[in-house]
Amino acid sequence: MKIGIIGAGDVGQTLAKLWIQAGHSVILSSRHPETLQPIIQELGSSAKAATVAQTAIAGDVLLLAVNYATVDAALAQMAPYVTNKIVIDATNPLRYADGGGLERVIGDREIAGLVMADKLPNARIVKAFTTLWTGYLQQHAHRSHPQVAIALAGNVSDKPAVASLIKDAGFDPVDLGPLAASRPLDPPSPIWNQVLTADEVRSRLAQISQLAAA
């Protein structure tokens, strides 16, 4: 598969490596594609650099991995080319707070996956890869059984392709349901930035449901 990666930072480059190892080809985007030459050389002939628009056009599936502060600018460049494409949304609705640390930039009751679906209505948004720091992705990809879980949420028809890419990257996909059920993929959450197996993800989410029902 040809995977278009919008945002060739920590997440984009980490997943590019894992997907190339699995036999995919990737297009890494940048506002300045020429600056990506060192990583393209490192990744080899299965990787190319392109602008955001070129990447959105060429990718069979897209990964969105830009900082939330720049997401609207990136979406404006890719939006004309994403109709009916699966867009894996790896973004977290966070910014650096003035006093240090990270803070949410969407309301406490909002769900980032639904916010993204509103921003990019022609695309098929699947939320995934938001919960694990890239250091953990690099350290734990293809771990022996039980593998580390990556949770995903989206439409039933769009998730098999993304689950397959999660497996190809060396992780165990855990389906949380539709985007409306993707709140645990947003910080803060008991599964956010936790290295967990699929059973551990399900158990933590069951505990939240029980607490909510009590």
| Contact residues for ligand NAP, defined by CB under 6 A | 7-12, 30-32, 35, 52, 65-68, 70, 73-74, 77, 90-92, 94, 129-130, 133-134
- Separation of alpha carbons 126 and 82, rounded Å: 13
Q: How far is the CB of 26 from ligand NAP (least distance, A)?
A: 14
Closer Cβ to ligand NAP, 170 or 206, answer by number: 170
Closer Cβ to ligand NAP, 49 or 86, answer by number: 49
Q: How far is the CB of 10 from ligand NAP (least distance, A)?
A: 4
Q: How far is the CB of 70 from ligand NAP (least distance, A)?
A: 3
* CB neighbourhood size of 44 (10 A): 8
- Separation of alpha carbons 82 and 85, rounded Å: 5
Q: How far is the CB of 110 from ligand NAP (least distance, A)?
A: 15
Print the SS3 string covering the chain: CEEEEECCCHHHHHHHHHHHHCCCEEEEECCCHHHHHHHHHHHCCCEEEECHHHHHHHCCEEEECCCHHHHHHHHHHHHHHCCCCEEEECCCCEEECCCCCEEECCCCCCCHHHHHHHHCCCCEEEEECCCCCHHHHHHHCCCCCCCCEEEEECCCCCHHHHHHHHHHCCCEEEECCCHHHCHHHCCCCCCCCCCCCHHHHHHHHHHHHHHHHC
Closer Cβ to ligand NAP, 94 or 148, answer by number: 94
Closer Cβ to ligand NAP, 77 or 194, answer by number: 77
Q: How far is the CB of 214 from ligand NAP (least distance, A)?
A: 31
Closer Cβ to ligand NAP, 51 or 144, answer by number: 51
Closer Cβ to ligand NAP, 46 or 54, answer by number: 54
- Separation of alpha carbons 214 and 162, rounded Å: 34
- Residue number of the CB closest to ligand NAP reads 9
Q: How far is the CB of 210 from ligand NAP (least distance, A)?
A: 27
